Structures are given as structure tokens and as C-alpha cells.
A = this chain, B = another copy of it.
């Protein structure tokens, strides 16, 4: 759906522009969209990034797949349809945070390419930075920080990405960080350098 269902609605122009909002903070807003298998390190990297940005005085906020499911998306499950709606809503919220001038970091498996392309298109070019948190399935399953792979192998979790549901790796992510062979801190450094180089945040 691309047109709103409801009629008689008008787009209100805010009296404060995004550029004005960004000016009082000294950095831009954008979405750093982490995608990858469960156990690939998305949450770890997201939290490291939030901490590093905070230490630089940059306003950031982590939208976490697990956390959002307790609130905004608590009515959704893990069927393909619900996964798509889950990602759609998060993409819209991410766009609001970008518009508000906050570096928002999302840590969702977001396994479907089409869903990621949709949330990318919600925002203007350059606002959306897709980061593929790449990790071998074997390694993710070995880590299994929440014991989910074990449950999935035992058939206790249906539609588990990588086991009984597909993960479609990005074709054209802005960044790829391979956590199979590097530490979360190394992944962090790659992302920070990108944000600096593209002038989302001041270089230090």
C-alpha cells in the first residue's frame, strides 16, 4: 500500500525544519539499519555504536527488534506477513527519528530483501545506511546467545531464520561487517568511519 487509506488528511509542514533541528545538535539524523542472522552480533554492535556516539555528544537511539516487540509491535508474530509488517512499522519509526535529528540504529534480523528495500524507500536518499552484519550460520549457531538455535533445531520455534525460514543477504548494503572474523569493536570502527566520512557526525 502506498496511499493512505484515510481521506481528508493534509500534510502539515512543521514550523521547525529538519536542518534547524540538526543545527542545535551539531550532527545529522540518519538510520543505521543493521541486518543479519540471530547471533550475528547486531545488538552488540548497535549498543557499542550508541555508546560511542554518546561519548561524542551525538544523539542516538537503538530500536531493537526484541524491545519493539514488547510495545509497538506486540500484536505481531513471526509469520512472513507479520515479519513484513514488523519491519514496515519500524522503518516508518526510523524515518521519524531521522527527521527528528537522531542517529537511530536498528537491530533486526530483517531477513527479506523486499522488506528492507521498502523501508529504505520511506526515507530520502542518503538517510538510510544498510549494514550487513555478516556471520556464518555455523558460528551464529555456536554462539547461540539466547539458546534459540537449539530450540529451533528441536522444532520448538517455527519459522526460525537460517533454520526453517530464509535469510536473504543484501546485494547492495552501504556497509558489510563480517563478525565471523572480527571483533564487535572492529565492526564499530568501520561504521563510525563511514558516518564521519559521509559527514553524518563530526570527525574526531
Contacts and interface: CB of A to CB of B under 8 A. Distances in A.
A180 interface: no
Given A69-B4, A99-B61, A101-B59, A15 B51 contact: yes
Nearest to A90: B72
Interface in A56-111: 57, 59-64, 66-67, 69-72, 74-78, 89, 92-93, 95-97, 99-102
A119 B67 CA distance: 17
A46 to B, nearest CB: 9
Contacts of A92: 71-72
Nearest to A76: B5
Given A61-B100, A63-B96, A99-B61, A8 B148 contact: yes
Within the oligomer, what is the number of copies of this chain?
Answer: 2
Given A1-B75, A74-B5, A15 B47 contact: yes
A197 interface: no
Contacts of A148: 8
A169 interface: no
A99 to B, nearest CB: 7
A50 B10 contact: no
A2 to B, nearest CB: 8
Contacts of A14: 47, 50, 62, 64
A116 interface: no
Interface residues of A, number: 56
B54 A4 contact: no
B66 A9 contact: yes
A43 interface: yes
A3 B74 contact: yes
B93 A54 contact: no
B72 A24 contact: no
A25 interface: yes
B75 A146 contact: no
